[in-house]
């Protein structure tokens, strides 16, 4: 039998896909740790060391509260005020903040290490409820570290702790107790003697050790007077705390550790030094096939400056910054120079050199400080497929029947977008807004006309009342006769100024007549004394009676003037006629601003409806604008509002003077065009026939006239011949 050798098509090709490996890492769960143990056993110290090595986030109450207070928002101000007033933070709020931190984008990428859940405080939640809370987290702990320590050793260690009153640093008994330091020194000497023998000792080394011991004792003497013991470090309090832990929490934790995968359960001896515990954990983690969080490296520092370059040159320069190994340059990502954070939001912004970073061996350029901060917290959400996906902000333009709508529908189908027809979605809203503007203008003009007419009528009535008041005042000073003459004058004058002049003239005339009457009465008083006295008394009584009537009439309350004017008033209608004529062609002062405003509103509605068009779609985008007017003023306004599309497609036909488009238009409206062509041809034929008939008639008429002229000439010639023959 002969065996055929299988030949590979690409024998030197890498069978591993770099994009597939990157995608698997971005979709992978970050490594999370949970450290259990008795209070004071060293959980926080070990957690700090692991967090620094694995770059995971240490989730504890104190760092979380400090972070919220540093933000200086409403919650941070509330926490700060509570602490300044001496109040304690409620356990419910602390647990809530810890859970928010665990679910934050930062933890979603780097992972976490937690040491304070479950807590000994059972006020808000029991230990079992806290454990159930951990089990139901989105990111459950992958590795559980349990630090064991006998109760006696732990109580002795904690009770021997002292805190510096100024710095707050905590010293163990090995660092501040002179007796412990002396015993440790003696043990060290004994070990050295056993190892080297009696004759191998060197005086210089002993002298150096003696000097170091003296310096250490001097330092201990200096800090010893500043050390204090905290209440929680008293032996009795420590024993009570350990007892409470064993009663409320230990059993629950043992059940959790029993259910956990033994391969990812690390148990440590708490009596060992912290450094030894840390090295033990690292050694175990090496064999668990766990991946550390990928670090984001900022390539350019604040002192470095890069001149403005083209995309290719800029990426080539940035690829050589902070290389992890010689000749190992950063690779270009599929985003190129586009900002991944802005692209995830649906905007295509070019990245800046100042905000360039490296991640997973590739180069990324961010567009702003905020984008850099968001990308540094969690780059996974910006790099996961389907990104980099175009936001799909497209405008399709072109002449009629160029295929704009068909192309827009195809683009929308491919990118799961939605076609926005300008003529059916924007233009009707603009016309409606214009109608509302006209209605509001007419309403305002009607109200203004009503006010004008009402003010005019009120002015006329007030003038009339003023004239009547003037008449009453005049009647107080003059008699009935003068009043009758004044009434005659008043009836002949209609305006207020004429009335005032007439009043002055009548008053002068009445004064003159009164003086004449008095003179006549004085001259004739002897002749008819009794008669004049009786007439004078009668006149006085009548004048007094009339004056009393006028006074009574003038003392009445002033009449309130009220005029009812509606939109149907003839004067109002006459004023509105011109306004209604001008409002027929009324438009906005800046119509393109209104067009842009309506278009922005329509696009916002479309993006809200089509936001989840596919998993991981950009926040903004997903629209294809069709039948948009090509007006310079409109596009300038759109650019100011940030509505400029990422892609503009213009369809045109420059071959054979647009014969293809003309053919499409003809085929689309063939029946209508054919009917018009036939009508035009029939009209031409009829016109030609009429012209031919008219020409034939004109020719016949010319021939007839010519024949008549010829006959007339012949007749005249014959007549002339007849005369000659005679």
Of 103, 130, 134, 177, give the one whose Cα is nearest residue 34: 134
- Predicted confidence at residue 211, as pLDDT, reads 74
| Average pLDDT of every residue of the chain | 80
| Confidence label for 484 from pLDDT (cuts 50, 70 and 90) | low
DSSP string for 373-393:
HHHHH--HHHHSTT-S----E
Q: Are residues 149 and 82 in the same domain?
A: yes
Residues forming a β-bridge with 623: 393, 418
- CB hemisphere CA count around 576 (13 angstroms): 22
Question: The domain spanning residue 611 has which CATH number?
Answer: 3.40.50
Confidence at residue 578, expressed as pLDDT on a 0 to 100 scale? 77
pLDDT computed for residue 320 by the predictor: 85
Asked if residue 216 is part of any domain, the answer here is yes
* 450 inside domain: yes
Closest residue by Cα to residue 54 from 275, 294, 369 = 294
b/e sequence 227-256, b meaning 16+ C-beta within 10 Å: beeeeebeeeebbebbeebeebbeebbeeb
Cis upstream peptide for 388 (omega within 30°): yes
Share of the chain above pLDDT 90, in %: 25
For the ranges 131-145, 189-203, 348-362, 441-455, the lowest mean pLDDT is seen at: 189-203
More confident position, 559 or 623: 623
Give the best-scoring range by mean pLDDT among 308-312, 506-510, 554-558, 635-639.
635-639
User: Is residue 602 domain-shared with residue 705, that is, in the same domain?
Assistant: no
* 183 vs 27: which has the higher pLDDT: 27
* C-alpha to C-alpha distance for 178 and 63, rounded to whole angstroms: 34
Cα gap 471→491, rounded to integer Å: 12
CA distance 51 to 113: 7
List C-alpha distances in Å: 280 to 30, 153, 242, 515. Answer: 21, 21, 25, 137
Cβ pair 164, 54 in contact under 8 A: no
At a CB cut-off of 8 Å and minimum separation 6, what does 36 contact? 43, 144, 145, 146, 147, 253, 257
Q: Is the pLDDT of residue 455 over 90?
A: no
Q: Give mean pLDDT, residues 567-587.
A: 78
Domain count across the chain: 5
Which of 599, 634, 652 corresponds to the end of one domain? 652
pLDDT of residue 387: 87
pLDDT tens readout for residues 206-245: 677 777 777 777 787 788 888 888 888 899 999 999 999 9
More confident residue, 190 or 54: 54
Alpha carbon 243 to chain centroid distance? Answer: 55
Q: Which residue has the tokens 């405008």?
A: 395
* Whether 373 and 422 share a structural domain: no
In what side-by-side order are the strands of the sheet with 227-228?
170-171, 162-164, 227-228
Are 270 and 154 in contact by the 8 Å Cβ rule? The answer is: yes
Residues 6 or more apart whose CB falls under 8 angstroms from that of 340 comprise 364, 366, 375, 379, 382, 383, 387, 388
Mean pLDDT highest for which of 86-90, 212-216, 529-533?
A: 86-90
The CA angle 695-696-701, to the nearest 5 degrees, is 100
HSE-up of residue 210 (Cα within 13 Å, Cβ side): 6
Report whether pLDDT(10) > 80. no
Alpha helices in 55-104 (DSSP H): 61-71, 74-84, 91-102
Q: What is the predicted pLDDT for the residue at 534?
A: 43
Higher-confidence position of 132 and 9: 132
> Would you list the DSSP string of 200-248?
T--HHHHHHHHHHHHHHHHHHHHHHTTEE--GGGSHHHHHHHHHHHHHH
Q: State whether 585 and 706 are in the same domain.
A: no
Average pLDDT over residues 603-622: 86
Q: How confident is the model at residue 12 (pLDDT cuts 50, 70, 90)?
A: low
State the pLDDT confidence band at 30, using cuts at 50, 70 and 90. very high
Same domain for 134 and 235, yes or no, is yes
Could you tell me which residue, 57 or 563, shows the higher pLDDT?
A: 57
Q: Is 249 in the same domain as 150?
A: yes
Two tokens at 300? 């350019």
| Other residues' Cβ atoms within 10 Å of the Cβ of residue 532 | 15
**Residue for token pair 């937690």:** 114
Instruction: For residue 631, give every residue at least 6 positions away whose Cβ sits within 8 Å of its Cβ, in sequence order, or none.
Output: 592
Range in 211-220, 479-488, 495-504, 717-726 with the lowest mean pLDDT: 495-504
Q: Is the pLDDT of residue 523 over 70?
A: no
Query: Is the pLDDT at 503 greater than 50, yes or no?
Result: no
Measure the CA–CA gap between 291 and 278, rounded to whole angstroms. Answer: 18
Asked, for residue 462, whether it belongs to a domain, the answer is yes
- Sign of the CA dihedral running 585, 588, 589, 591: negative
DSSP state of 425: I
Regarding whether 219 and 108 lie in a shared domain, the answer is: no
The answer to whether position 239 is within a domain reads: yes
Three-state DSSP state, 520: helix
Nearest of 544, 565, 335, 349 to residue 447 by alpha carbon: 565
Q: What is the dihedral of CA 166, 172, 177, 181, to 10 degrees?
A: -130
- Predicted pLDDT of residue 461: 84
Beta carbons within 8 Å of 76's beta carbon, 6+ residues apart:
68, 69, 70
In a domain, 298, yes or no: no
Query: If you average pLDDT over residues 519-548, what whole number do you get?
Result: 43
Where a domain ends, among 329, 359, 383? Answer: 383
Sheet holding 393-397, edge to edge: 418-421, 623-626, 393-397, 647-650
Residue 648 CA to its chain's centroid (Å): 25
Can you give the pLDDT at residue 549?
45
Q: pLDDT at position 338, please?
A: 92
Pairwise pLDDT comparison (536 vs 678), residue with the higher score: 678
Q: What is the DSSP letter of 16?
A: S
Q: The dihedral of CA 444, 447, 451, 456: what is its sign?
A: positive
Range of the domain at 446: 391-471+566-652
Query: Mean pLDDT throughout 26-34?
Result: 92
Are residues 264 and 317 both part of a single domain? no
Residues 76 and 152 in one domain: yes
As a whole number of angstroms, the distance between CA 10 and CA 7 comes to 9
| 11 pLDDT tier (thresholds 50, 70, 90) | low
- 493 pLDDT more than 50: no
Res 453 pLDDT > 60: yes
Q: What is the mean pLDDT of residues 310-333?
A: 85
Task: For residue 333, give the 3-state DSSP assignment.
Answer: coil
pLDDT of 197 > 70? The answer is no
Inside any domain, residue 51 = yes
Give domain status of residue 425, yes or no. Answer: yes
Q: Write down which residue in 627, 652, 677 finishes a domain.
A: 652
Among 130-139, 197-206, 559-568, 627-636, the range scoring the smallest mean pLDDT is 197-206
The DSSP 8-state label assigned to residue 350 in this structure reads B
247-288: per-residue pLDDT in tens? Answer: 888 988 999 999 999 999 999 998 898 999 999 999 999 888
What is the predicted pLDDT for the residue at 553? 40
Residues 319 and 395 both lie in one domain? no
> What would the mean pLDDT of 82-97 be, rounded to a whole number?
88
Say whether both 175 and 74 belong to one domain: no
What pairing do the DSSP bridges indicate for beta strands 162-164 and 170-171? antiparallel
Better-predicted residue by pLDDT, 185 or 492: 185
Strands 33-37 and 112-114 come out as: parallel
CA angle (331, 335, 341) in 5-degree steps = 120
Which distant-in-sequence residues (6+ apart) come within 8 Å of 710 by Cβ?
Answer: none
341 band by pLDDT with thresholds 50, 70 and 90: very high
How do beta strands 356-359 and 33-37 pair? unpaired
Residue whose token pair is 């065009």: 673
Same domain for 75 and 151, yes or no, is yes
Confidence of residue 710 (pLDDT cuts 50, 70, 90): confident
- What gap in Å lies between CA 711 and CA 705, rounded to an integer? 10
User: For the residues 622-636, what does the mean pLDDT come to?
Assistant: 90
Of 30-34, 112-116, 232-236, 485-489, give the lowest mean pLDDT range: 485-489
CB 608 within 8 A of CB 335: no
Checking if the pLDDT of 487 tops 80, the result is no
Question: Does residue 602 register a pLDDT over 60?
Answer: yes
Q: Tell me the three state secondary structure of residue 37.
A: strand
327 part of a folded domain:
yes
74-83, 269-278, 487-496: least confidently modelled range = 487-496
Name residues whose C-beta falls within 8 Å of residue 211's C-beta, 6 or more positions apart in sequence.
none
pLDDT tens per residue across span 395-448: 999 888 788 888 999 999 998 899 999 999 999 999 999 888 888 888 888 888
């Amino acid at each position: 039998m002969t065996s055929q050798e299988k030949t590979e098509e690409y024998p030197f090709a890498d069978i591993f896909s770099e994009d597939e490996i990157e995608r698997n890492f971005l979709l992978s769960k970050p490594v999370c740790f949970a450290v259990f143990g008795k209070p004071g056993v060293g959980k926080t110290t070990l957690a700090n060391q692991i967090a620094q090595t694995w770059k995971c986030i240490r989730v504890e109450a104190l760092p979380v509260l400090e972070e919220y207070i540093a933000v200086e928002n409403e919650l941070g101000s509330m926490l700060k005020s509570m602490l300044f007033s001496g109040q304690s933070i409620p356990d419910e709020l602390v647990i809530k903040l810890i859970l928010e931190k665990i679910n934050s984008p930062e933890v979603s990428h780097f992972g976490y290490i937690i040491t304070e859940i479950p807590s000994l405080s059972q006020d808000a939640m029991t230990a079992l409820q806290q454990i159930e809370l951990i089990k139901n987290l989105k990111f459950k702990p992958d590795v559980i570290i349990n630090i064991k320590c006998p109760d006696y050793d732990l109580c002795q260690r904690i009770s021997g702790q002292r805190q510096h009153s100024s710095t707050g640093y905590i010293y163990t008994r090995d660092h501040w107790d002179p007796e412990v330091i002396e015993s440790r020194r003696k043990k060290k000497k004994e070990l050295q003697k056993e190892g080297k023998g009696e004759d191998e000792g060197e005086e210089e080394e002993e002298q150096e050790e003696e000097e170091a011991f003296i310096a250490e004792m001097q330092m201990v003497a200096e800090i010893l007077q500043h050390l204090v013991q905290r209440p929680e470090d008293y032996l009795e309090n420590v024993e009570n705390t350990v007892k409470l832990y064993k009663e409320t929490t230990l059993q629950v934790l043992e059940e959790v550790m029993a259910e956990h995968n033994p391969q990812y359960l690390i148990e440590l001896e708490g009596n060992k030094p912290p450094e030894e515990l840390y090295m033990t954990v690292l050694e175990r983690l090496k064999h668990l096939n766990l991946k550390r969080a990928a670090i984001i490296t900022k390539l350019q520092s604040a002192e470095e400056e890069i001149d403005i370059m083209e995309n290719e040159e800029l990426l080539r320069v940035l690829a050589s910054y902070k290389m992890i190994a010689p000749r190992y340059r950063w690779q270009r990502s599929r985003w190129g120079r586009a900002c991944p954070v802005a692209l995830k939001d649906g905007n295509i912004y070019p990245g800046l050199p100042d905000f360039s970073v490296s991640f997973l061996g590739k180069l990324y350029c961010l567009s702003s400080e905020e984008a850099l901060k968001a990308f540094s917290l969690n780059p996974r959400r910006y790099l996961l497929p389907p990104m980099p996906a175009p936001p799909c902000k497209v405008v399709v333009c072109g002449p009629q029947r160029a295929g704009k709508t068909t192309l827009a529908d195809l683009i929308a189908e491919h990118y799961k977008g939605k076609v926005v027809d300008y003529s059916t979605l924007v233009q009707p809203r603009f016309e409606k807004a214009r109608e509302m503007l006209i209605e509001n203008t007419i309403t305002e003009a009607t109200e203004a006309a009503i006010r004008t007419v009402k003010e005019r009528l009120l002015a006329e009535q007030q003038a009339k009342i003023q004239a009547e008041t003037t008449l009453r005042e005049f009647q107080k000073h003059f008699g009935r006769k003068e009043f009758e003459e004044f009434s005659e004058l008043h009836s002949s004058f209609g305006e207020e100024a004429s009335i005032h002049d007439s009043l002055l003239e009548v008053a002068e005339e009445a004064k003159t007549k009164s003086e004449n009457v008095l003179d006549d009465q004085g001259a004739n008083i002897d002749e008819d004394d009794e008669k004049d006295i009786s007439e004078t008394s009668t006149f006085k009584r009548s004048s007094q009676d009339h004056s009393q009537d006028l006074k009574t009439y003038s003392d009445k309350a002033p009449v309130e003037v009220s005029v009812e004017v509606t939109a149907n008033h003839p004067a109002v209608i006459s004023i509105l006629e011109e306004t209604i004529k001008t409002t027929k062609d009324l438009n906005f002062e800046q119509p393109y601003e209104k067009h842009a405003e309506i278009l922005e509103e329509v696009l916002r509605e479309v993006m809200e409806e089509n936001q989840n068009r596919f998993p991981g779609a950009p926040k903004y985008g997903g629209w294809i604008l069709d039948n948009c007017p090509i007006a310079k003023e409109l596009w300038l306004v759109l650019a100011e509002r940030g509505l400029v599309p990422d892609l503009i497609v213009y369809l045109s036909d420059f071959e054979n003077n647009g014969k293809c488009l003309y053919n499409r238009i003809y085929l689309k409206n063939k029946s209508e065009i054919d009917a018009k062509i036939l009508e035009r041809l029939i009209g031409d034929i009829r016109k030609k026939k009429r012209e031919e008939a008219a020409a034939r008639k004109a020719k016949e008429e010319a021939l007839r006239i010519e024949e008549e002229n010829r006959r007339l000439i012949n007749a005249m010639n014959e007549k002339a011949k007849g005369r000659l023959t005679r």
